[in-house]
Structure 1
Amino acid sequence: MGYALYEGMTVSAALEYQLPPESETDPVTGKTTYFKDVKKRNDSIRGAFVKTLKKRDQVFYIKNRKPKKAGERWKLCINIVNKDTNLTKCFNDSSIIDPET
């Protein structure tokens, strides 16, 4: 990851502190200029950073996946992460729609 932590900052706040600014405000006119290329680069850095943090921190999680089409069922997905291996298993989950059955 290579980003130094500053005192009292979270990891993501330290990353945001070190990224170049995406906009600049002219002090005389008050107009804001946005830099699209810098924003695109910063977004890709943030995406890679978040992906790395998730791989490092999330070892096990469970989530419910909504059906994409009408008539499909909810799915209960279990994800186990270990170093470079991801295991995802999804099951039909009928307890979400009717929890009493």
Structure 2
Amino acid sequence: MIRLIILIHLIKSEKSQFRQRWQKKEKNMRNFSMQSVGNQVVITVDLSFMNIESLNRLFERLRIEELIQKADFSDEITEIGTEIKQSWWQRNREQYLKGIINENRD
């Protein structure tokens, strides 16, 4: 099994919230694992599950998120963006996940 380790720096105040959210999801994430080490999180990805192109898209998404945080948008703009993403996902979720996951496990 090929594995890749990704290090992500977390702000101290976000670490406990991150751990709580991840622990809830961890049961369904068999191809990923995470370990908190100081101010970093080590993410292990099973590359037999995720190809390099997908991993590159994930890195690009993380880079974009970092740039957005640096831009320091107002809370209102952030909320509008979140609402747009949530409504899009609700409309398209079934199409993208059809045949991939068992809806009862969600």
Q: TM-score, structure 2 length as denominator?
A: 0.26
Q: When you count strand as a share of all residues, which structure comes out higher?
A: 1
Q: TM-score, structure 1 length as denominator?
A: 0.27
Q: Which has the higher contact order (CA 8 A, sep 6+)?
A: 2
| Greater radius of gyration (CA) | 1
Q: When you count helix as a share of all residues, which structure comes out higher?
A: 2
